[in-house]
Chains A and B, each alone.
Chain A
Amino acid sequence: MAALLFTGCADSYHWSSSHPTYKQAPYGELTITGLQKAFVITRTKWFANRLDFGDSTQIKATEFCAKAMEHEFRGGYSKLSVLPDSVLANFPEESQKLDDRIFMKGKLPEQGVTVSAPDGSVPPQILLIHEVIIGTDLKRENFFDYALIHNELEDKREVKNISAIVSYTLWDNVKQRPLFSAVDEIQHPVIKLTLADLEQLMRQTVQQIRKNMYTGAGK
């Protein structure tokens, strides 16, 4: 009954929030960080059985995904710079509220502190990738709605999709404020899992992020 109620509300979630001053999505140029530690794979065993990564599927598959995502971003922005995760290492983890029950966690730079690239330059905007969860048939409300996160997920035998749930913030590095924050869910149907499927999933993820950053501007 409770599950029914919750799924009933599922459609009304807000999965993104824009700062009132966010008027234009980044174009041509982007700085990104978080690609090193943000990735996590659920149901590692399922993936391990289907992909040929040997012993360390978790590490190698997430590396593969991070690479695929970076590659895809490079395709979208002619001037892409990737900052190491260490630029955020000293900042505390904070929650951002997207909806009544939707909170996303992630490290945000401190108020009054600008993040500079290792070469000393200060990028005006940074896309902070907080978390990328890769698994099978995942639903983002199960991870981000605090009323649902303690529910145990049913272990589906039959896998229809591989999915990625990505939470990210487009950060105004000059004024230190979140311009656009969102949680996206991407589903990619699979019959027999190959690395091409993972690559395709990452491609769709990046497309979704770009699309959302574009539609979220000027809202």
Chain B
Amino acid sequence: MKHLSLIAFAIVIFAQAFLAGNVHAKDIFFDSPWTLWQSADILIWTPDKEPAIDPKEFCLSLRRNNSGIGDPKCRLFGEWERDTVAMRYASWLSNNIEPGIDAHLLKARHPSMMAKIQALEDKIVLFIADKGKDLQIAIFDETTLEPRSAGTVAKTSDKIALGDDIASAFFGRHTKRRLTKEERLKKETEPDELYKETPTFRSWAGISAGYAQAQIPLTPYSWYKRKIRSRVSNYRATRDSVSLWNFMDDSTPLFTLYAGGIWFGFIGGEIFYRYSDHAVKIDDRDEVYEELDHWNFSQHEIGLNVMFARTYEPFKWLDLHLFAFLGFQYSFYAEDIELKDSKKKPSREYETRFKTEDPYKGALFGFGSQCVFLQHYGLSVRTGISSRGKDVYVEPSPDAAAEPTTIGASTVDWFISVGLEYHWTPFK
């Protein structure tokens, strides 16, 4: 029962909507995003003897329907109504505006009509033609030779209601302030954004601090759990030795020195050196480590990036360069291990501890942005993913078992860093 009443309610609502639609019968055939100016000059152009709406009342309708319209001026477009070519085009329009028509099929073809439309200069022409039951509406501005919008509204004898209908159907959009004469002149003479001068070559040097970890954001922790929780027993043994993060602490601060340059603000390169320090994750339960004072690896990486950038200039004093980079790197690990002073001779396990490859080869990619203040002082943020790997295949050797394990077939981490940079253009 409850459902039935709900359905009945819905039917009533729909019926209301349909009825309402019929009362304010308007039909918009096409509507392109033309500019409605604040305090617009609206010229009413009609092929009929008497215009169907009253210009003054229409202005009031506009103000009632669009609070942003300011103080519009409406008048009959006598210049076009006295012109043969324009009137021929007007009667042609009223013959040709029909449902389903495309704007380009309504284009003005006569050269002198085209010239008239192009000379409108910010004025909006409202074409109204009486078709008996309906009024045909079309809107022209100087930007195209075809109507920007066209449609019909149902004709009523009440000119005020008619003006309201037209205003709500075609003039509901956001308004834009019209440029003054000076502003217009300035805009015409100011250089085109697209042709803005970019230095042929811009270079920079910077220093940055950041943070790196094995887990890439937005990926599940379970992918990394085994690596991150892994501990090294007996100076060498882990469940698997694919990633360096099975052996070393992955989340560490990261420091970078770098210098780069870019041609035409578009394609560039960067050379960098990165440093971070990783403690070995020894298994504390293992008694063999009692002799150990500390054991960690410092990671040194040098590499080269290719970068592609796009420049924006939101303010005069700020250049914003967004870029993506792709590069390769060599990673070196310097071991820092020391026994406790009391221990004179290291254990056998100490002697056969794991070794790192020198160097690991890897790739990195990512994206970032450089905010350059006053053309020289840059603040840069970048993030990405870097990898280190080695050839998995090694020549089998008879005493492989006794030799120290070389680890890290594939190590991946994510990094983010913030840098201070100095930018300059060495040659103009």
Contact = CB atoms under 8 A, between A and B. Distances in A.
Interface of A: 19-21, 92, 94, 108, 110-113, 174-177
24 contacts: A19-B105, A20-B100, A20-B102, A21-B98, A92-B111, A94-B109, A110-B85, A110-B88, A110-B110, A111-B89, A111-B92, A111-B113, A112-B87, A112-B88, A112-B89, A112-B90, A112-B91, A113-B88, A174-B95, A175-B92, A176-B92, A176-B96, A177-B96, A177-B105
Interface residues of B, number: 19
Contacts of A20: 100-102, 105
Nearest to B96: A175
Contact of A111 (B98, B100, B101, B109): B109
A22 B108 CA distance: 20
A163 to B, nearest CB: 31
Interface of B: 85, 87-92, 95-96, 98, 100-102, 105, 108-111, 113
Nearest to B111: A92
4 closest A-B pairs by beta carbon, nearest first, are A112-B88, A111-B92, A112-B92, A175-B95
A112 B89 CA distance: 6
Interface class of chain A by DSSP: loop
Nearest to A97: B104
Given A20-B105, A112-B88, 8 more contacts: A94-B109, A110-B110, A111-B88, A112-B87, A112-B92, A113-B88, A176-B95, A177-B105
Contacts of A94: 109
Contacts of B87: 112
A110 B95 contact: no
Nearest to B101: A20
Residue in B95, B98, B100, B102 whose Cβ sees the most chain A Cβ within 10 Å: B95
Contacts of A108: 109
A108 B107 CA distance: 14
A177 to B, nearest CB: 6
Nearest to A21: B98
Contacts of A19: 105
A209 B96 CA distance: 26
A113 B110 CA distance: 11
Nearest to A176: B92
B105 A111 contact: no
Contacts of B91: 112
B302 to A, nearest CB: 46
Contacts of A175: 92, 95-96
Contacts of B111: 92
A112 B110 CA distance: 10
Contacts of B101: 20
Given A175-B95, A176-B95, A111 B110 contact: yes
Contacts of B96: 175-177
A19 B101 CA distance: 9
A130 B293 CA distance: 98
A91 B305 CA distance: 64
A20 B106 CA distance: 12
Residue in B85, B92, B108, B113 whose Cβ sees the most chain A Cβ within 10 Å: B92
A96 to B, nearest CB: 10
Contacts of B88: 110-113
B404 to A, nearest CB: 62
Nearest to B104: A97
A112 B84 CA distance: 10
A176 B88 CA distance: 11
Nearest to A177: B96
Nearest to B113: A111
A174 B91 CA distance: 11
Contacts of A21: 98
A107 to B, nearest CB: 12
Contacts of A177: 96, 105
Contacts of A113: 88
A175 B111 CA distance: 19
A187 to B, nearest CB: 33
A88 B113 CA distance: 19
B368 to A, nearest CB: 41
A3 to B, nearest CB: 32
A122 to B, nearest CB: 14
